[in-house]
Amino acid sequence: MDYSKIVSNKVIRLPIMWNNDYFPHEIERILTAYIDLLQSSNFSSDKIEVIKTFQKSMELTVTQYYEGKPALAYESFNDGMKIISMYLSKYIVAFKNIYKNETSLYRARVNVSTENSKEYSNDDMFHIPFQLRGKVESQRYSISGLPCLYLGESSYVCWLELGKPNLDNISVALVRSRKSSKDISILDLSMLPHQIEIDAIEDYLMIWPLIALCSICAKQKDNPFKPEYIIPQLLMQWIQRRNSEKVDKVDGIRYFTVAFDTDEDIDSFNNSYLYGPHLYRNIVFPVQNIKPEGKCDYLEERFEITKNISGKALQFFRNAYAQNWNEYPEIQKPYIVVSNTKLEYENTLFQSIEQALKDELEGVTPDFSAIITKLTNEGFYNHIDGGTWDNKSSIYFQDDEPPTPQKGDIWSAPMK
């Protein structure tokens, strides 16, 4: 069988943008198109029947949820998960095998509200304390009222998940894993189809429907109810239930961001992901030790907020000229795409923030004034005529005043 025909087909490109008016119909469309692709590629007929059964369970799950029957929806979801659990178990990996030595993860918060500006302590940058669980909104993998620790593998992905706020108005924290984190297990759903080795492709194709249903971009980002969150939230509940039954313990889920607005954004993400997947990956840990107030002991024993700084003092680019996408197609280093322009990650503010956090941790005090002077003299924006605000990417170039910061105090990132 020619697996390249499958993994290169746009049907299985992730994440997924959807345009149907009715979300249950979108679930049917996604999985039916996938099954059609497998059948046309001579994939195992027995395994296709397994996927068809999974499809029926997922369609019933979403329909029952829409009917206001969450308990029945969970049972239907559980039925579907029983079908693919033998394949899914191969993607449960030890934290220590994914993240070597002292791992650097990141967490971000908007630090400006409509009334005042805040500077957060390290403690503020952990998950929302139990006594304030009323502030916890529904997020992709977590229901309202349940604190979770959402972390990014880069400060850039945290910024994406916050909705690309003005860079002056975020605080970014460096999160380090403690030695006790070695016992953590992760369900890794962060693989794109074209990353998979040939000897693992069949198992991956069996769990692709689940990854896909957890990777649908939110169409109405400001709506309190997001149907795109139904399946990932049920997956987290399924994991927690299995943990309580001591079956294949999983502490968190690793996944790629779906914070994109257009098909072009997704195409750029798929290309960039090959060179710097960590720039786009998140990991979410639900709390485990519930108590009236404070933080989860289990998570605090395994992670610590070591430093946090504000992006207010820094500019966006340093020491490099941005090159047009078409003029500089050969970039092989980790990069991001801003307004159809490739930018090497090492030349962005996000890399500067991450390095400054690490330097402070090692006792090296960054000279931010020197950084700013260097940026002003050599930075990217000096090579742009005039000043502009790029509304698509929330990047501010000299001269113009930036727009009003986003309203409200966003507690956690990533969250979309």
3-state per-residue secondary structure call for the chain: CCHHHHHCCHHHCCCECCCCCCHHHHHHHHHHHHHHHHHHCCCCHHHHHHHHHHHHHHHHHHHHHHCCCHHHHHHHHHHHHHHHHHHHHHHEEEHHHHCCCCCEEEEEEECECCCCECCCCCHHHCCCCHHHHHHCCCECCECCCCCEEEEECCHHHHHHHCCCCCHHHEEEEEEEECHHHHHCEEEECCCCHHHCCHHHHHHHHHHHHHHHHCCECCCCCCCCCCHHHHHHHHHHHHHHHHHHCCCCCCCEEEEECCCCCCHHHHHHHHHHHCCCHHHHEEEEEECCCCCCCCCCHHHHCCEEEEEEEEHHHCCCECCCCCEECCCCCCCCCCEEEECCEEEEHHHEHHHHHHHHHHHHHCCCCCCHHHHHHHHHHHCHHHHCCCCCEECCCCEECCCCCCCCCCCCCCCCCCCC
pLDDT at 402: 38
CA dist 148 and 296 (Å) reads 9
pLDDT at 370: 46
pLDDT at 168: 75
What's the mean pLDDT in 209-223?
96
pLDDT at 111 over 90: no
Higher pLDDT, 54 or 401: 54
What's the mean pLDDT in 173-179?
89
In contact, 15 and 228? CB cutoff 8 Å:
no
What's the mean pLDDT in 244-267?
92
What's the mean pLDDT in 168-172?
82
pTM: predicted TM-score of the whole model, two decimal places: 0.82
Mean per-residue pLDDT of the chain: 82
Q: pLDDT grade, residue 327 (50/70/90)?
A: very low
Q: pLDDT grade, residue 400 (50/70/90)?
A: very low
pLDDT at 396: 35
CA dist 133 and 107 (Å) reads 18
Residue whose structure tokens are 């016992």: 183
Percent of the chain topping pLDDT 90? 56
Q: Using one digit for the tens of pLDDT, what is the confidence trace for 230-253?
A: 999 999 999 999 988 888 899 999
Q: pLDDT grade, residue 332 (50/70/90)?
A: low
Q: Using one digit for the tens of pLDDT, what is the confidence trace for 141-154?
A: 999 999 999 999 99
Higher pLDDT, 204 or 100: 204
